[in-house]
Amino acid sequence: MGYLQMCCITMTALLLVVVLAVVSGHGDFFTNHWAVRITGGHRQADRIAAKYGYMNFGQIGSLEDHYHFHHSRVVRRAAFSLKGPHSFIHMDPEVEWAQQQVVKLRVKRYAQSDPSFTYFNDPKWSNMWYIHCNDKNSRCHSEMNILAAWQRGYTGKNVVVTILDDGIERNHPDLAQNYDHLASYDVNGNDHDPTPRYDSRNENIHGTRCAGEVAAVANNSHCTVGIAYNAHIGGIRMLDGDVTDLVEAKSLGIRPDYIDIYSASWGPKDDGKTVDGPGLLTKQALEQGIKKGRKGLGSIFVWASGNGGLQGDHCSCDGYTSSIYTISISSTTENGNKPWYLEVCSSIIATTYSSGEFNERNIVTTDLRHICTDGHTGTSVSAPIVAGIIALALEANLLLTWRDVQHLLVKTSRPVHLKADDWKTNAAGLRVSHLYGFGLVDAEALVLEALTWRTVPPQHTCSRITIKQGQPSVTTSGCSEEPDQHVDHLEHVVVKVLIVHPRRGDMEINLISPSGTRSQLLAKRLFDSSNEGFRNWEFMTVHFWGERAEGIWTLEIVDLPSKQRNLKEWTLILYGTSQNPYQPHSVQHSRSRMLEIPEEILEEPELEEEDEYNGERLSQLKYQNNHVPFSNLKD
């Protein structure tokens, strides 16, 4: 009898569960909070709460007889109302009404989300916390807003992405449908099939893992969902053999009018003592790509910033990731912590989630031999995520240039909860860090901005300012004589140095802009004992993005206590536009700008006092803009 009764109650409870699940719909998650209506006052409510194992948190606002009950034994954010003694509260005759509270799937700035859309039948979907961040399994603080971008209809359709790596398994069941042989090539094998070489050690898993992040097929009951799950995906097999300048150059130049985005998750050794970058051919291939690729709009090269964190490596010593033509991407952990592998440097533009500590979740993706994995880690994860997100933006606006894409990332990425001790606001009001660039990418913001984006004005370059030894401070008229070199609003800033030093790793180099923003171009590297110094090495920083170019630029080298550095020569190379890229036709702006010039330029700026770095100002130069481009504008 007792058993029977128990059985029936359980069945009733189960029924309730089903009803609740249906009412709540997909996309809603049960919490351990209940709203309960009980007459008879607080003490009665307390008594009933205790009877079923709840805490009574008191009356709900001004609602008489309504109480907030909390049950600590329910798993937070369960997908279904959980069974257990506490659920019997619904059947207590003294309880007039009870409702377990559900959390709505929060999708920012999207009014009519169709909850069923957020559900895919791919078995690893529930593990993709970085896509449905505020979901039942996810407690991350900030979203990359990928789901929201999808819900606006952007999934990478007609955009072509390729992975420069050790090949891709093109017949992987989660890739085959999106695989595009025209976006693929095998540079190692000199054929058109980029299928990886299989061996017992599974050496060549990397490319297939990157590919799945970008474009694994959605809702096919297999494995995962790619970030641009309707994009074309190809692979360029080039890492499984001798990697030469030629191999790299060839790879970066495969079908530049067909392939939109090249994703590269590799680079020179991250051993903390290497200084290496693209060779002659590869440099040309990158330049050719941004000039001629995508029928003149420019190829998009996305690059992982490097995994040498433990070796104290600094990504400014990696010429691929610090090139102005590549988009350098860093990683953060689920909790916004600095991952152990992270490399710091000033050329990083933005950041995605990736793997972290043992208690933090990983990224899931496709793997060699038709399987899935959550073993894909490091900044290798981050470049493909951004490649996928850029594919969404290109679907929204196919006319974005290579520089538009960088501007969009600068503008839409956010520091949110990413922890770094060096977040600062530059003079253009942009928050930026050497760990994370402009912060966590925001796919939805990116597609929204892309939709209404106006192509930025032409890029100008000013690179004639060279300081010779013994000339620590020079005033120059900059590049004003030639209008097509006039730089006013900054994008990238490059410093090329010739420095002799008995121990390269002892040096820290900083650049201070006319607005007073300080960017660290190089940090000390413990393992770098080379005596080769820097021979015309180019450091790049994006930290002055949007700032004005005019004024005194200061280079600072700290190598205490040895002070053995010998700066032979340095060149400041400014990239940017003559017009404000965000208000290209504002007459108002040109007026105020003309008023500013005499003051900023003619006044000798004060030097700051000796700073906290105990550094020595080695060299300063003044970039003066006499060019007044708006003088002929009619009001």
Ligand X SMILES: *[C@@H]1O[C@H](CO)[C@@H](O)[C@H](O)[C@H]1NC(C)=O
- Residue 193 touches which member of Ca ion, ligand X, none, C-beta under 5-8 Å by kind: Ca ion
**Cβ-based nearer residue to ligand X, 52 or 150:** 150
What residue ranges in 238-377 does DSSP mark as E strands? Answer: 261-264, 300-304, 326-332, 348-353, 363-367, 371-376
| Interacting partner of 306 out of Ca ion, ligand X, none (Cβ under 5 to 8 A depending on kind) | Ca ion
Active site residue 318: no
- Check if 506 is active-site: no
Sign of the alpha-carbon torsion through 169, 362, 158, 406: negative
> Which pair of structure tokens corresponds to residue 186?
């095998």
- The answer to the question of residue 583 lying near ligand X (CB under 6 A) is no
Kindly state whether residue 122 participates in binding Ca ion, applying the rule CB under 5 A.
Answer: yes
Closest CA to 45 of 85, 6, 89, 7: 89
Residue that the structure tokens 């890029």 belong to: 459
* Span 402-461, contacts to ligand X by CB under 6 A: none
For 418-487, the DSSP string reads: ---TT-EE-TTS-EEBTTTBT-B--HHHHHHHHHHPPPPPPPEEEEEEEEETT--EEEE-TTTTSGGG--
> Given the rule CB under 5 A, which of 172-180, 356-364, 572-580, 602-610 is the region that contacts Ca ion?
172-180
Q: Which is nearer to Ca ion, 277 or 439 (CB)?
A: 277
Asked if 271 touches Ca ion (CB under 5 A), the answer is no
The footprint of Ca ion on residues 285-324 (CB under 5 A) is 306, 308, 313, 318
Closer residue to ligand X in complex, CB, 229/534: 229
Q: Which does 117 bind (CB under 5 to 8 A by kind): Ca ion, ligand X, none?
A: ligand X
Total residue count of the chain as it appears in this document: 635
**How far apart are the C-alpha atoms of 438 and 430, rounded to whole Å?**
8
Q: Which of 28, 122, 135, 165 is catalytic?
A: 165
Residue among 215 and 420 whose Cβ is closer to Ca ion: 215
By CB under 5 A, name the one of 86, 222, 411, 548 that touches Ca ion: 222
**Site stretch for ligand X (CB under 6 A), options 112-120, 277-285, 403-411, 502-510:** 112-120
Q: How far is the CB of 191 from Ca ion (least distance, A)?
A: 4
Report, in Å, the least distance between residue 48 CB and Ca ion: 47
User: Taking CB under 6 A as the rule, does residue 219 contact ligand X?
Assistant: yes
**CB 253 to ligand X: min, Å:** 37
Contact 544, 517 (CB under 8 A): yes
Q: In whole angstroms, how close is the CB of 24 to Ca ion at the nearest point?
A: 26
d(C-alpha 205, C-alpha 216), whole Å: 15
Report in angstroms how near the CB of residue 124 gets to Ca ion at its nearest. Answer: 8
Residue 23 CB, nearest distance to ligand X (Å)? Answer: 19
- Which residues inside 230-269 make contact with ligand X, applying CB under 6 A? none
Residue tagged active-site, from 305, 322, 347, 380: 380
Exactly one of 33, 86, 132, 206 is catalytic; which is it? 206
Instruction: Tell whether residue 213 is a contact of Ca ion (CB under 5 A).
Output: no
Question: Which residue minimizes CB distance to ligand X?
Answer: 219
User: For residues 393-412, which are near Ca ion according to CB under 5 A?
Assistant: none
CB nearer Ca ion, residue 220 or residue 571: 220
Q: Does 166 bind Ca ion (CB under 5 A)?
A: no
Question: Looking at beta carbons only, is 168 or 217 nearer to ligand X?
Answer: 217
Residue 118 C-beta: closest distance to ligand X, Å: 8
Instruction: Enumerate the H helices of 189-337 as residue ranges.
Output: 206-215, 245-252, 280-292
Interaction between residue 525 and Ca ion (CB under 5 A): no
Cα–Cα distance measured from residue 49 to residue 576, given in angstroms and rounded to the nearest whole number: 65
* Stretch binding Ca ion (CB under 5 A), from 265-273, 372-380, 550-558, 623-631: 265-273
Binding segment toward ligand X, per CB under 6 A, in 117-125, 187-195, 229-237, 271-279: 117-125
Rule CB under 6 A: say whether 123 interacts with ligand X. Answer: no
Q: Minimum distance from CB of 393 to ligand X (Å)?
A: 21
Stretch that binds ligand X, among 60-68, 114-122, 297-305, 596-604 (CB under 6 A): 114-122
Alpha-carbon distances, residue 569 vs 467, 468, 499, 505 (angstroms):
5, 5, 7, 19
Spatial separation of the C-alpha atoms in residues 44 and 66, rounded to whole Å: 12
Chosen from Ca ion, ligand X, none, partner binding at 215 (C-beta under 5 to 8 Å by type):
none
Helix (H) or strand (E) holding 232: strand 232-237
How many CB atoms sit inside 10 A of residue 629's CB? 15
Residue in the shown chain whose Cβ atom is closest to Ca ion: 306
> Minimum Å distance from CB 128 to ligand X?
14
247: its two tokens:
């191999």
Kindly tell me the burial class for residue 39, based on how many C-beta atoms sit within 10 Å of its own C-beta (0-12, 13-18, 19 or more): exposed
What is d(CA 229, CA 124) in angstroms, rounded to the nearest whole number? 14
If one asks whether residue 121 binds ligand X (CB under 6 A), the answer comes out as: yes
Residue 206 annotated in active site: yes
174 binds Ca ion per the rule CB under 5 A: yes
> How many beta carbons lie within 10 A of that of residue 91, not counting itself?
12
Interface of this chain with Ca ion, residues 183 to 202, rule: CB under 5 A: 186, 189, 191, 193
| Residue in the structure block whose two tokens are 């420019």 | 298
Query: Cα 450 to the chain's mean position, in Å?
Result: 16
Of 151 and 577, which CB lies nearer to ligand X in the complex structure?
A: 151
220 versus 397: smaller Cβ distance to ligand X: 220
Nearer to Ca ion, 254 or 297 (CB): 254
Give the CB-side neighbour count of residue 612, counting CA atoms within 13 A. 1
Q: Using CA atoms, how far apart are residues 70 and 49, in angstroms rounded to an integer? A: 9
Using CA atoms, how far apart are residues 89 and 24, in angstroms rounded to an integer? 19
Nearer to ligand X among residue 68 and residue 222 (C-beta): 222
Give Cβ neighbours of residue 620 (< 8 Å, ≥ 6 apart).
472, 473, 474, 552, 553, 554, 555, 607
Residue 117 binding ligand X, by CB under 6 A: yes
Query: How many Å apart are CA 247 and CA 381, to the nearest integer?
Result: 23
Distance in angstroms (rounded) separating the CA atoms of residues 418 and 338:
8
Backbone angles phi, psi at 389, to 5 degrees: -65, -40
CA distances, 278 to each of 252, 256, 275, 344, 525 (Å): 11, 18, 11, 20, 21
Q: Identify the burial level of 157 via C-beta atoms within 10 angstroms of its C-beta, where 0-12 means exposed, 13-18 middle and 19 or more buried.
A: middle
List strands edge to edge, sheet with 518-522.
473-476, 616-623, 551-558, 508-512, 518-522
Stretch that binds ligand X, among 29-37, 113-121, 164-172, 614-622 (CB under 6 A): 113-121
Binding mask 58-97 for ligand X (x = CB under 6 A): ----------------------------------------
Min. distance of Cβ 217 from Ca ion in angstroms?
5
Residue numbers annotated as active site: 165, 206, 380
Where do contacts with ligand X occur on this chain (CB under 6 A)? 116-117, 120-121, 219
Where do contacts with Ca ion occur on this chain (CB under 5 A)? 122, 174, 186, 189, 191, 193, 216-217, 220, 222-223, 270, 306, 308, 313, 318
